[in-house]
């Protein structure tokens, strides 16, 4: 079964567009399920082998439980490995590295010019997926976790059936079936020019223009990627700003950079109809605007994979988007059945799904000390440049009346950025002006998803060990992008009086 995609799919935290609020009430906290070795085939059975399922299965197996898993598809890894995070990020790397090389002045002086096809850019993706599958298969083999192939469906609270008719009983279950792109009625996704975030990677020919409907994480990532290829891009946003969960200054920087690259962004728009033609796709908006491009990408929302799980045989209900309600330990209304990853909604990150799976496994083992930092999950948005953040935004701190100050480092002032030519971007530190405690870290620029972890590590130090003084008093390698922390800390310190 498919598992968590960075929304990835994508790739990053899901915007409100991509993962609507869950409307069902959250169940009350319940005790951990107790394995009963003599009564069931397994102590824990996991449905889905994406990041969430893998995290739960490995944690429980290493804790001594008898664990089995079910996978609907021929290969393990879920949507993250096969049509979401891994292939989309592999394509992004191919696009950015290729176009950077083609724009290099030395290459231009040599008269080297090329226009790579989508097939050429995607050529190395299958090899990467194959290595991921082989590696993850070894995890199950080493930990003696058998994999049942086929769709798993609940028969009752402790029994599932697999496609081949096999009945399996378990004391506890983890549902990690992931999500898929939401497909609204009235849109013909069988048309060769109309794609969603799963099928877009199968596009063979490079179009000259594309409309991306939905400006959440997935939509902005693909808009950025296609614009880097020189494709004309319309980005349709159903809200009044991009990625509203980010810090306002980062939102402004992303909007400016996309527009500077030539992306046309249209806010507060809603689809009226989509018509696929032989020579393109026409999008009609309720505002009266009509757009025609070579191809169309629907990137507005995801649907939890719960419709074929046999939930009708359980008291567990999914909401209108197929998402399951869980408590802080990822238990459903049945204490022995857990759910993790995209199937429970936001943050819809592969990284979060893996951690949630581990947390569910630890809870089942009786370890409920909350040491997995589930409230400390960084965003990772793979636009060009990248965006990553952890902690509070300026908007949130202002609303809470926290006396904070800001320290900034512009990448254009860093020697390493000047050397690599990646001078677009900034690092922003938010810290308490009295205690100097770091409250939030926000980064926009090359390698932001890597840079953020330095700030994340210091933010989680106890007491007085979490201050901007660490960055001021620490020697950083020179030249590096990490040096931005020292620059930003000194910039912020100079604002105090």
Q: Is 288 annotated as a binding residue?
A: no
* Residue 270, annotated as binding a ligand: no
What phi and psi values does residue 153 have, to the nearest 5 degrees?
A: -135, 140
DSSP one-letter string for 439-495 = EEEEEEETTHHHHHHHHHHHHTS-GGGSSTHHHHHSPPPSS-STTHHHHHHHHHHTT
Does 342 carry a binding-site annotation?
Answer: yes
Helices (runs of H) and strands (runs of E) counted in the chain: 14, 22
Is position 217 annotated in a ligand binding site? yes
Q: Is 393 labelled as part of a ligand binding site?
A: no
**Annotated binding residue at 219?**
yes
Has 89 been labeled as part of a binding site?
yes
474 labeled binding residue: no
Q: In what order do the strands lie in the sheet with 438-445?
A: 379-381, 386-391, 438-445, 425-432, 404-410
CA distance 223 to 175: 32
User: In terms of Cα–Cα distance, which of 154, 264, 161, 135 is closest to 209?
Assistant: 264
Residue among 301, 302, 264 nearest 283 (CA): 264
Q: Is 179 annotated as a binding residue?
A: yes
Instruction: At 56, list the tokens.
Output: 């739960």
Is 5 one of the annotated binding-site residues? no
Q: 230 a known binding residue?
A: no
- 359 assigned to a ligand binding site: no
For the chain, what is the radius of gyration of the CA atoms? 23
**The pairing of beta strand 337-339 with beta strand 167-175:** parallel
Q: Which tokens go with 352?
A: 């979060």
**Token digits of residue 289:** 């605007």
Report whether 64 belongs to an annotated binding site.
no
Neighbours of 451 (CB within 10 A): 23
Does 482 count as an annotated binding residue? Answer: no
Instruction: Assess contact for 234 and 212: CB atoms under 8 A.
Output: yes
Binding-site residue numbers for FAD are 89, 177-179, 342
Binding-site residue numbers are 89, 177-179, 214-221, 301, 342
Binding-site residue numbers for NAD(+) are 214-221, 301
């Amino acid at each position: 079964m498919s598992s968590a995609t960075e929304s990835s799919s994508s790739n990053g935290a899901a915007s409100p567009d991509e993962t609507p609020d869950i409307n069902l009430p959250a169940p009350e906290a319940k005790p951990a399920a107790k394995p009963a070795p003599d009564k069931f085939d397994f102590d824990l059975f996991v449905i889905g082998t994406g990041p969430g399922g893998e995290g739960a299965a490995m944690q429980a197996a290493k804790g001594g439980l008898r664990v089995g898993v079910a996978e609907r598809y021929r290969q393990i890894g879920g949507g993250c490995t096969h049509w979401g995070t891994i292939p989309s990020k592999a394509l992004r790397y191919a696009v950015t590295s290729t176009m950077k090389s083609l724009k290099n002045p030395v290459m231009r002086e040599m008269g080297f010019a090329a226009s790579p096809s989508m097939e050429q850019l995607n050529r190395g993706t299958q090899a990467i997926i194959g290595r991921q599958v082989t590696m993850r298969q070894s995890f199950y083999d080493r930990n003696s976790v058998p994999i049942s192939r086929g769709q798993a469906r609940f028969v009752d609270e402790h029994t599932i059936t697999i496609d081949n008719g096999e009945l399996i009983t378990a004391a506890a279950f983890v549902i990690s079936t992931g999500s898929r792109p939401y497909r609204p009625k009235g849109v013909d996704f069988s048309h060769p020019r109309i794609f969603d975030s799963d099928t877009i990677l199968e596009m063979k020919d490079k179009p000259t223009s594309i409309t991306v409907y939905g400006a959440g994480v997935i939509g902005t990532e693909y808009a950025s990627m296609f614009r880097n290829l020189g494709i004309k891009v319309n980005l349709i946003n159903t809200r009044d700003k991009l990625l509203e969960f980010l810090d306002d200054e980062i939102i402004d920087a992303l909007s400016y950079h996309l527009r500077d690259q030539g992306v046309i962004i249209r806010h507060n728009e809603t689809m009226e109809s989509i018509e696929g033609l032989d020579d393109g796709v026409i999008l009609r908006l309720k505002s009266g605007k009509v757009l025609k491009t070579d191809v169309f990408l629907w990137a507005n929302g995801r649907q939890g994979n719960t419709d074929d799980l046999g939930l009708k045989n359980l008291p567990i209900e999914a909401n209108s988007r197929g998402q399951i309600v869980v408590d802080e330990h990822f238990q459903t209304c049945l204490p022995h059945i857990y759910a993790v990853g995209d199937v429970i909604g936001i943050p819809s990150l592969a990284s979060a799904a893996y951690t949630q799976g581990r947390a569910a496994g630890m809870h089942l083992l009786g370890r409920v000390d909350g040491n997995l930092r589930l409230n400390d999950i960084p965003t990772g948005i793979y636009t060009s440049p990248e965006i990553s953040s952890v902690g509070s935004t300026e908007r949130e701190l202002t609303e809470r009346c926290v006396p904070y100050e800001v320290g900034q480092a512009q990448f254009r002032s860093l020697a390493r950025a000047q050397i690599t030519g990646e001078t677009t971007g900034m690092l922003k530190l938010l810290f308490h002006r009295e205690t100097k405690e770091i409250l939030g870290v926000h980064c926009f620029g090359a390698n932001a998803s890597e840079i953020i972890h330095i700030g994340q590590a210091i933010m989680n130090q106890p007491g007085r060990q979490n201050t901007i003084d660490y960055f001021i008093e620490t020697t950083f390698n020179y030249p590096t992008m990490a040096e931005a922390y020292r620059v930003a800390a000194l910039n912020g310190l100079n604002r105090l009086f």
